Amino acid sequence: MLGGDGYLGWPTALYLSRRGHDVGVVDNFARRQYDLEMGVDSLVPIRTLQQRVRTWEQVSGLQVDSFIGDLTDETFVQDTIRRFEPEAIVHFAEQRSAPYSMIDRKHAVYTQVNNVVGTLNLLYAIAETDPSIHLVKLGTMGEYGTPNIDIEEGFIEITHKGRTDVMPYPKQPGSFYHLSKVHDSHNIMFACRIWGIRATDLNQGIVYGQATEETLLHPDLATRFDYDGVFGTVLNRFCVQSVIGHPLTVYGSGNQTRGMLDIRDTLACVELAVTNPADVGEYRVFNQFTESFSVRDMAAMVRQASVKPVEIAEGLENPRVEHEEHYFHASNTKLLDLGLEPHLLTKSVIKGMLTLIERHRERVDVDAIAPTVQWRSSASTRKTASTPSDTSFRAV
Domains and CATH numbers, the chain: 9-213+260-290+327-342 (3.40.50.720)
Partners of 167 in beta bridges: 156
Q: What 3 state SS string does 188-237 have?
A: HHHHHHHHCCEEEEEEECEEECCCCCCHHHCHHHCCCCCCCCCCCCHHHH
What is the reported pLDDT for 379?
A: 63
pLDDT tier, 378 (very low <50, low <70, confident <90, very high otherwise): confident
For 294-340, what is each residue's pLDDT tens digit? 999 999 999 999 999 999 999 999 999 999 999 999 999 999 999 99
- pLDDT, residue 277, reads 98
Question: Beta strand pairing status for 283-288 and 198-204?
Answer: parallel
Using H for helix, E for strand and C for coil, what is the string for the chain? CECCCCCCHHHHHHHHHHCCCCEEEEECCHHHHHHHHHCCCCCCCCCCHHHHHHHHHHHHCCCEEEEECCCCCHHHHHHHHHHHCCCEEEECCCCCCHHHHCCCHHHHHHHHHHHHHHHHHHHHHHHHHCCCCEEEEEEEHHHCCCCCCCECCCEEEEEECCEEEEEECCCCCCCHHHHHHHHHHHHHHHHHHHHCCEEEEEEECEEECCCCCCHHHCHHHCCCCCCCCCCCCHHHHHHHHHHHCCCEEEECCCCCEEEEEEHHHHHHHHHHHHHCCCCCCCEEEEEECCEEEEHHHHHHHHHHHCCCCCCEEEEECCCCCCCCCCCCCECCCHHHHCCCCCCCCCHHHHHHHHHHHHHCHHHCCHHHCCCCCCCCCCCCCCCCCCCCCCCCCCCC
Which pLDDT band, with edges at 50, 70 and 90, does 386 fall under? Answer: very low
Specify the pLDDT at position 391. 35
pTM: 0.95
Average confidence score pLDDT of the chain: 95
> DSSP state, 117?
I
Task: Write down the pLDDT at residue 82.
Answer: 98
Over the stretch 218-256, which tens digit does the pLDDT of each residue have? 999 999 999 999 999 999 999 999 999 999 999 999 999
Percentage of residues of the chain with pLDDT beyond 90: 95
Q: Express as a percent the part of the chain with pLDDT over 70.
A: 95
When pLDDT is averaged across residues 353-382 and rounded to a whole number, the result is 91
Per-residue pLDDT at 382: 52
**Mean of the pLDDT values across residues 26-49?**
98
Residues 6+ apart with CB under 8 A from 73: 121
Task: Report, as residue numbers or ranges, the catalytic residues.
Answer: 140, 177, 181
396: pLDDT strictly greater than 70 = no
Give the closest residue to 347 by CA, choosing from 282, 298, 288, 287: 298
Q: So what's the pLDDT on residue 377? A: 83
- The whole-number pLDDT of residue 100 equals 98
Closest CA to 256 of 235, 277, 230: 235
